[in-house]
């Protein structure tokens, strides 16, 4: 009745406007509502319907003859319509039936009176009056997903059964077919554009997220149809798959309930909107965050939290940036803290603190403590979803044209082609890991030594932690020395050995001994042996020299970052105390350790003369410090890795395809630890980026990318709209079809409009090795990372921008000078030629 009622209101208003009749809107609305009520109570509407059934009741021609309340039901379905229904309820008085607690009464079909005895159970074939949805579901045993409810009310008929009883719902919307046809016409679209108010904004999307309103609309029903006979086009065993969860056919549900099929009932897939306790918190005060203090509203969506400032709420009216919304991905939030505004029990307000994985802290003052707590619970839930199938990359719709598909830009075949140019007979591409049967953390294709069969690789995988047998990481074309990476050998307390693994390593040797570099300390390597791991023994690997580097354990690295961030955000500490806490955090010493280990690897490859010296790098599992060290060694040795494109290739090849468990390691940052993922969390990739940043500071002209590129990679590795860093390995990406359903980060980076912002204007290609200095005075605090939210960077940015413009102008002038020189040379040639011709004429 909702739509017809408002249709009557609109028609009446239109009539009064057309005939210049002045009226009071409130009185008109009340009068129409009273009239509608009266025609229901007096029965006038029903009398009119009964007097002309053909006009008001439309028989459905799609019903079969078998599917043929008295007048209306008999007219539509025939005199035996009661046989089609188990229970019949009249005078339900919707929507009170769904919201109230009216008891059922037995209806006397002969006298038309009601029996007032309490109804104990609903008997088949009887007619009942009144009642309520809860009692009906209980007495008829109709709860759970085995019920499919058809309704035509806009909200109550559909939403209440679904939310309260767990029913599946189907909406019958007769106008649907006509609306779909209309929406697909150009005339309709043009008319909508003509009447649409451009100030409204989007009702259905904010940024790339669906709004709370649109999500609620999607939750009203599992599916929609214009008429019930449409379902006859489907087989009785057909299963529908709406977005919310898998809707089984009623037949299969009945079979399962009766025990005829030994199958598990379907699990309801969580909807992000289910976790939103409060979609909007108004009149909050931003006390601390990415901009100055101001008032506004918090809008909580499935993937984002948005702060929308109030008009003229900023203390800086000249700064237009303060008037714009800012949003934070829920996945970027590391820790949520909610507490009362004061210790006064009569105080109603609350403080909502969000500590983000990029070290930003946002503090909001909320007027109502209940709203503060509800918002905190919502954000806590949405920022700690299990798995990643509900993550934003699967919902993100790319707003730019993809010119270079990042998923196809880098692969093993192209890397092998590059290596084969300098060593055509040394390596081959193996598909031993097809379907990830040998190693879950390796890609399906790897580069291995030529001459080693796949059977040897499979056996070696059983001897290496996690099945990570030796694979090629880098080949130095000048010295013909390769860098291989793998995981620790599973020697254990019993001193196991694997001849196949020994054969693989010995196949790398030529005329010089090889070097095995263990990124762990000697103590950690020995302790690993007691747990089933260990290191290569001299007896079994006599042609190899074993060296340890002593890089930090991942747990120590996590603690180090937490201390580093803690001292970075503490504005009250004195200078002496700040330096003392900085040193005790051990973050800078960890960075120095990684750089030193990478430099040792690079030195073994590049400085052992011209002999082919193979280097094998491993730590424990081979997915953390091993990848970090081999990647850094490439940054030191390979000029191509210092370009934007080459750096992307290195990250894709070594980190993403190489099996670094991003979902585990980056589940939390510096402010929190996960209940399950806590022992596995560590900022290994961030440490790598910090090491690269140290190199860019020591060799500012040798890297094509800017500091901003490294910062963006840091943020995207923790929370992103792109799918590149989702999952722990390629097997998980393939299982969840990440490459098919998300956009690669490299597709965004390589867009020309974006790429230009990452280019270092000071870059000059440098073919030399960039040997890093690891002296204490050379290792700096990455201020843009750790002090990003504590300092005002306006002046620094202005200076950098001025330097960029100066450099660009210098290049323009240099180019112009070169062009003028060429013109001068051409003019001098012409003058010399003219003089020569003139001399010839004089001689003649």
Counting Cβ atoms within 10 Å, is residue 591 exposed (0-12), middle (13-18) or buried (19+)? buried
Can you list the positions of beta strands (E) in 330-378?
A: 333-340, 350-356, 361-366
Task: Kindly state the average pLDDT of the residues 319-334.
Answer: 83
Distance CA 450, CA 442 (A): 19
Task: Kindly state the average pLDDT of the residues 282-289.
Answer: 91
Give yes or no for residue 809 having a pLDDT over 60. Answer: yes
Give yes or no for residue 269 having a pLDDT over 90. Answer: no
Residue that is written with structure tokens 């929190």 in the block: 672
Say what percent of the chain tops pLDDT 70.
84
Say what percent of the chain tops pLDDT 90.
42
Chain segment 173-214, per-residue pLDDT in tens: 777 777 777 777 878 777 777 776 655 555 665 544 556 566
Q: What is the largest CA-CA distance in the chain?
A: 140
Tokens of 520: 């762990």
Q: Is the peptide bond before 95 cis (omega within 30 degrees of 0)?
A: yes
| Residue 664 · residue 680 · CB < 8 Å | yes
Give the residue, 137 or 318, on which the prediction is more confident: 137
List phi, psi (to 5°) of 684: -65, -45
Q: Determine if the pTM surpasses 0.85.
A: no
How much is the pLDDT for 300? Answer: 92
Rg (CA), the chain: 36
Range with top average pLDDT, 110-119, 388-397, 521-530: 521-530
How much is the pLDDT for 687? Answer: 97
Q: How confident is the model at residue 793 (pLDDT cuts 50, 70, 90)?
A: confident
List phi, psi (to 5°) of 840: -65, -45
DSSP string covering 713-755? HHHHHHS-SSSTT-SSSHHHHHHTTHHHHS--HHHHHTSHHHH
Counting Cβ atoms within 10 Å, is residue 333 exposed (0-12), middle (13-18) or buried (19+)? buried
Task: Kindly state the average pLDDT of the residues 480-495.
Answer: 92
Query: Any bridge partners for residue 518, and if so which?
Result: 548, 618
Distance CA 360, CA 363 (A): 10
Instruction: Say which DSSP state 181 is in.
Output: H
| Residue 635 · residue 483 · CB < 8 Å | no
Closest CA to 751 of 419, 406, 472, 496: 406
Q: Which sign, positive or negative, has the C-alpha torsion 461, 462, 464, 468?
A: positive
- β-pairing, 615-618 with 481-485? parallel
Q: How many residues does the chain have?
A: 844
How much is the pLDDT for 63? Answer: 44
| Residue 630 · residue 601 · CB < 8 Å | yes
Chain segment 55-67, per-residue pLDDT in tens: 776 665 544 333 3
| Residue 81 · residue 68 · CB < 8 Å | yes
How much is the pLDDT for 321? Answer: 57
List phi, psi (to 5°) of 370: -60, -40
Burial 433-469 (b: 16+ CB within 10 A, else e): beebebbbbbbbbbbbbeebeeebbbbbbebbbbbbb
How much is the pLDDT for 67? Answer: 34
Kind plus residue range of the DSSP H or E element containing 169 = strand 168-172
Q: How confident is the model at residue 313 (pLDDT cuts 50, 70, 90)?
A: low
Give the residue, 150 or 284, on which the prediction is more confident: 284
Least trusted range by pLDDT, from 127-131, 224-228, 354-358, 579-583: 224-228
Give yes or no for residue 216 having a pLDDT over 70. Answer: no
Give the residue, 158 or 716, on which the prediction is more confident: 716
Query: Any bridge partners for residue 546, and if so which?
Result: 516
Give yes or no for residue 342 having a pLDDT over 50. Answer: yes
Task: Kindly state the average pLDDT of the residues 463-491.
Answer: 93
Range with top average pLDDT, 40-54, 379-393, 644-658, 815-829: 644-658
Distance CA 628, CA 552 (A): 12
How much is the pLDDT for 310? Answer: 85
Secondary structure class of 655 (helix, strand, coil) = helix
Distance CA 616, CA 603 (A): 13
How much is the pLDDT for 265? Answer: 40
Give yes or no for residue 111 having a pLDDT over 70. Answer: yes
Angle at 216 between CA 211 and CA 221, to 5 degrees: 140
Give yes or no for residue 770 having a pLDDT over 90. Answer: yes
How much is the pLDDT for 264? Answer: 42
Q: How confident is the model at residue 433 (pLDDT cuts 50, 70, 90)?
A: very high
| Residue 577 · residue 584 · CB < 8 Å | no
How much is the pLDDT for 804? Answer: 79
Tokens of 89: 């309820």
Distance CA 145, CA 246 (A): 10
How much is the pLDDT for 197? Answer: 61
How much is the pLDDT for 389? Answer: 80
How much is the pLDDT for 120? Answer: 82
Task: Kindly state the average pLDDT of the residues 807-816.
Answer: 83
- β-pairing, 361-366 with 427-430? unpaired
Closest CA to 284 of 203, 345, 369: 369
DSSP string covering 660-711? --HHHHTS--SS---TTTGGG---HHHHHHHHHHHHHHHSTTS-SB-HHHHH
Tokens of 706: 């800017």
Give the residue, 529 or 42, on which the prediction is more confident: 529
Spatial neighbors of 706 by CB under 8 A, at least 6 apart, are 757, 758, 759, 760
Distance CA 458, CA 438 (A): 6
Spatial neighbors of 420 by CB under 8 A, at least 6 apart, are 427
How much is the pLDDT for 544? Answer: 93
Give yes or no for residue 69 having a pLDDT over 70. Answer: no
| Residue 343 · residue 334 · CB < 8 Å | no
Give yes or no for residue 155 having a pLDDT over 90. Answer: no
Q: How confident is the model at residue 541 (pLDDT cuts 50, 70, 90)?
A: very high
Kind plus residue range of the DSSP H or E element containing 105 = strand 104-107
Distance CA 254, CA 198 (A): 51
Instruction: Share the mean pLDDT of the chain.
Output: 83
Query: Any bridge partners for residue 337, and if so which?
Result: 353
Give yes or no for residue 253 having a pLDDT over 50. Answer: no
Across the beta sheet with 294-300, the strand order is 326-329, 304-309, 294-300, 280-288, 361-366, 350-356, 333-340
How much is the pLDDT for 65? Answer: 35
Distance CA 164, CA 143 (A): 9
Query: Any bridge partners for residue 148, and if so which?
Result: 168
Give yes or no for residue 840 having a pLDDT over 80. Answer: no
Task: Kindly state the average pLDDT of the residues 413-440.
Answer: 89
Give yes or no for residue 15 having a pLDDT over 80. Answer: yes
DSSP string covering 284-343? EEEEESSS--EEEEEEE-SSEEEEEEPTT--S-TT-GGGGS-EEEEGGGEEEEEEEESSS
Per residue, the 3-state secondary structure of 583-641, as one string, reads HHHCHHHHHHHHHHHHHHHHHHHHCCCCCCCCEEEECCCCCCHHHHHHHHHHHHHCHHH
List phi, psi (to 5°) of 263: -130, 150
Angle at 39 between CA 34 and CA 41, to 5 degrees: 90
What is the separation of C-alpha 417 from the centre of its chain, rounded to a whole number of angstroms?
33
Q: How confident is the model at residue 245 (pLDDT cuts 50, 70, 90)?
A: very low
Q: How confident is the model at residue 689 (pLDDT cuts 50, 70, 90)?
A: very high
Distance CA 463, CA 492 (A): 10
Give yes or no for residue 518 having a pLDDT over 50. Answer: yes
Closest CA to 217 of 254, 255, 197, 243: 243
How much is the pLDDT for 249? Answer: 41
Distance CA 184, CA 814 (A): 57
3-state helix, strand, coil in the chain (%, to 5): 45, 15, 40
Spatial neighbors of 198 by CB under 8 A, at least 6 apart, are none
| Residue 557 · residue 590 · CB < 8 Å | yes
How much is the pLDDT for 487? Answer: 94
Tokens of 419: 């290596």
Give the residue, 235 or 698, on which the prediction is more confident: 698
Task: Kindly state the average pLDDT of the residues 539-551.
Answer: 92
């Amino acid at each position: 009745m909702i739509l017809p009622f408002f249709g009557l209101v609109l028609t009446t208003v239109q009539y009064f406007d057309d005939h210049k009749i002045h009226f009071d809107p409130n009185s008109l609305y009340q009068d129409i509502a009273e009239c509608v009520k009266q025609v229901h109570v007096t029965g006038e509407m029903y009398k009119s319907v009964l007097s002309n059934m053909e006009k008001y009741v439309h028989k459905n021609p799609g019903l079969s003859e078998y599917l043929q309340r008295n007048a209306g039901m008999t007219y539509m379905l025939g005199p035996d319509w009661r046989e089609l229904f188990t229970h019949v309820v009249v005078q339900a008085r919707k929507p009170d039936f769904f919201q109230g607690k009216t008891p059922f009464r037995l209806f006397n079909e002969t006298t038309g009176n009601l029996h007032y005895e309490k109804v104990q159970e609903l008997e088949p074939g009887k007619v009942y009056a009144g009642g309520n949805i809860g009692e009906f579901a209980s007495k008829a045993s109709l709860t759970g997903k085995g019920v499919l409810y058809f309704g035509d009310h806009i909200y109550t008929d559909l939403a209440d059964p679904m939310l309260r009883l767990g029913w599946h719902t189907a909406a019958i919307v007769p106008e649907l077919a006509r609306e779909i046809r209309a929406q697909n016409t150009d005339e309709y679209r043009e008319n909508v554009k003509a009447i649409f108010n451009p100030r409204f904004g989007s009702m259905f999307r904010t940024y790339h997220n669906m709004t709370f309103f649109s999500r609620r609309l999607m939750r009203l029903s599992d599916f929609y149809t214009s008429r019930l006979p449409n379902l006859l086009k489907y087989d009785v065993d057909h299963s529908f798959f709406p977005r919310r969860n898998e809707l089984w056919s009623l037949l299969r549900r009945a079979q399962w309930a009766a025990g005829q099929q030994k199958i598990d009932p379907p699990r309801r897939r969580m909807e992000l909107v289910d976790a939103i306790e409060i979609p909007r918190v108004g009149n909050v005060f931003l006390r601390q965050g990415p901009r100055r203090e101001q008032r506004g509203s918090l809008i909580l969506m499935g993937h984002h939290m948005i702060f929308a400032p109030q008009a003229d709420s900023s203390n800086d009216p000249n700064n237009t940036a303060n008037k714009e919304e800012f949003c934070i991905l829920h996945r970027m939030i590391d820790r949520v803290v909610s507490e009362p505004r004061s210790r006064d029990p009569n105080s109603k307000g609350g403080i909502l603190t969000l500590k983000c994985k990029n070290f930003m802290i946002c503090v909001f003052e909320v007027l109502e403590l209940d709203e503060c707590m509800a918002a905190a619970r919502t954000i806590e839930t949405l920022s700690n979803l299990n798995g990643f199938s509900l993550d934003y990359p699967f919902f993100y719709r790319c707003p730019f044209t993809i010119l270079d598909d990042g998923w196809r830009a880098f692969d093993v075949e192209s890397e092998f082609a590059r290596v084969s140019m300098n060593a055509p007979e040394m390596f081959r591409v193996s598909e031993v890991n097809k379907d990830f049967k040998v190693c879950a953390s390796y890609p399906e294709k790897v580069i291995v030594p030529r001459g080693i069969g796949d059977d040897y690789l499979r056996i070696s995988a059983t001897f290496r932690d996690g099945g990570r047998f030796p694979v090629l990481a880098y080949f130095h074309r000048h010295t013909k020395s390769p860098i291989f990476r793998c995981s620790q050998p599973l020697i254990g307390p019993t001193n196991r050995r694997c001849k196949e693994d020994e054969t693989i390593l010995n196949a790398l040797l030529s005329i010089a001994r090889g070097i095995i570099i263990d990124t762990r300390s000697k103590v950690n390597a020995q302790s690993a042996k007691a747990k089933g791991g260990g290191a290569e023994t001299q007896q079994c690997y006599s042609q190899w020299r074993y060296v340890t580097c002593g890089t930090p354990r991942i747990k120590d690295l996590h603690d180090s970052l937490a201390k580093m961030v803690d001292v970075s955000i503490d504005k009250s500490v004195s200078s002496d105390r700040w330096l003392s806490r900085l040193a005790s955090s051990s973050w800078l010493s960890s960075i120095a350790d990684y750089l030193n280990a990478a430099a040792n690897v690079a030195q073994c490859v590049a400085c052992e003369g011209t002999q082919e010296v193979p280097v094998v790098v491993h730590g424990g599992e081979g997915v953390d410090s091993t990848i970090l060290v081999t990647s850094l060694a490439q940054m030191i040795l390979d000029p191509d890795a210092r370009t934007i494109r080459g750096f992307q290739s290195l990250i894709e090849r070594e980190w993403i395809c190489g099996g670094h468990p991003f979902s585990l390691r980056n589940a939390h940052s510096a402010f929190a630890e996960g209940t399950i993922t806590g022992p596995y969390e560590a900022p290994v990739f961030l440490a790598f980026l910090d090491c690269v940043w140290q190199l860019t500071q020591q060799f500012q002209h040798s890297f094509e990318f800017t500091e901003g590129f490294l910062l963006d990679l840091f943020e995207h590795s923790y929370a992103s709209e792109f799918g590149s860093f989702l999952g722990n390995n390629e097997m998980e990406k393939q299982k969840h079809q990440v490459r098919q359903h998300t956009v690669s980060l490299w597709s965004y980076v390589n867009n020309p409009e974006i790429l230009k912002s990452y280019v270092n204007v000071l870059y000059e290609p440098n073919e030399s090795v960039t040997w890093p200095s690891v002296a204490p005075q050379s290792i700096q605090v990455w201020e843009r990372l750790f002090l990003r939210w504590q300092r005002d960077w306006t002046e620094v940015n202005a200076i950098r921008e001025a330097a960029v413009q100066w450099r660009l102008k210098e290049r323009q002038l240099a180019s112009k000078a070169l062009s003028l020189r060429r013109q001068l040379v051409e003019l001098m040639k012409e003058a010399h030629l003219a003089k020569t011709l003139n001399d010839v004429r004089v001689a003649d």
